[in-house]
Amino acid sequence: MTARLLPGAPVADALLARVAGRVRVLAQVPRLALVRVGDDPASVSYVRSKDKKAREVGIDSEVHALPETTTQAELLALLARLNADPAVSGILVQLPLPAHIAEEPVLLAVDPAKDVDGFHPFNVAQMWAGHARLNPCTPAGILELLDFYGIPVAGQRAAVVGRSEIVGRPMAAMLLGRDATVTIAHSRTADLGAVTREADILVVAVGRPQFLTPDIVKPGATVIDVGINRIEVGGKGKIVGDVHPDVVQVAGGLTPVPGGVGLLTVAQLMANTVTAAELVQARG
């Protein structure tokens, strides 16, 4: 058996086409405020790509690139202004923040109605209750991928390896909301294979290169690799996922790295921005 590859590009393209159509019928063009503190190269690259993608689908985008020396109070003051600005539909604070700025007060300071990352506790609670409109982007993008490729979720056994606030926990909640039977595994799980070998859908987000090996994958399972890890191969840098490449010989479906889930995260951010704008328009 060789797994069917499940690339993210066609899924992201289809989602972004729908987003562009939704933008065109809005009375006011949505605006996304992207906030970055410092010049971390990865953060600069991520914000640039989000800004570019927003403009491609017709969303106004404004980048607030603050110096590394920005204080917590100055950042919170900016967020207060963005919250109060009716032209701003969505706000994203690029993480990580510099060490002298505490993340939790910053995330709490974003208006839940403009929290297009889906990280605010109000939106997290809504997600677990099954009522969220602004879900975390990576898990929401994974559900888009499963739907696009016709992979059933309801009634399936699903395992999520990793319990981060950004991927693992919300992924479990959203799979549960789609009527899967869900298990969360993590670094303290006593027998990981006993969990993963039962899973029809396996989402791996642990940040450890090639961590999931074929001997602990159920034959025919759909494996979603969320990892993005840089390793050295023959003196050159290479991007690999959390799933060992030999899993392709066991799984029924596998997302590639690169070219898989990462593309969906940005596309879902655009969808969340339009959803936030639609909610404001509906309230009048």
Set 50, 53, 114, 218: catalytic member:
50
40 is catalytic: no
50 is catalytic: yes
Q: What's the rounded Cα separation, in Å, for the pair 73 and 105? A: 10
Q: What's the rounded Cα separation, in Å, for the pair 284 and 268? A: 25
Q: What's the rounded Cα separation, in Å, for the pair 219 and 165? A: 29
Please indicate if the annotation marks 36 as binding a ligand. no
Set 115, 117, 225, 242: catalytic member:
117
Please indicate if the annotation marks 228 as binding a ligand. yes
Q: What's the rounded Cα separation, in Å, for the pair 125 and 119? A: 10
Please indicate if the annotation marks 231 as binding a ligand. no
φ, ψ dihedrals at 163, nearest 5°: -130, 30
Please indicate if the annotation marks 188 as binding a ligand. no
Q: Where are the alpha helices (DSSP H) in 71-167?
A: 72-84, 103-109, 121-129, 137-148
Set 53, 94, 225, 268: catalytic member:
94
**CA 253 to chain CA mean position, Å:** 20
53 is catalytic: no
Q: Which residues are annotated as a binding site?
A: 162-164, 228
Q: Which residues are annotated as a binding site for NADP(+)?
A: 162-164, 228
Catalytic site positions: 50, 94, 117
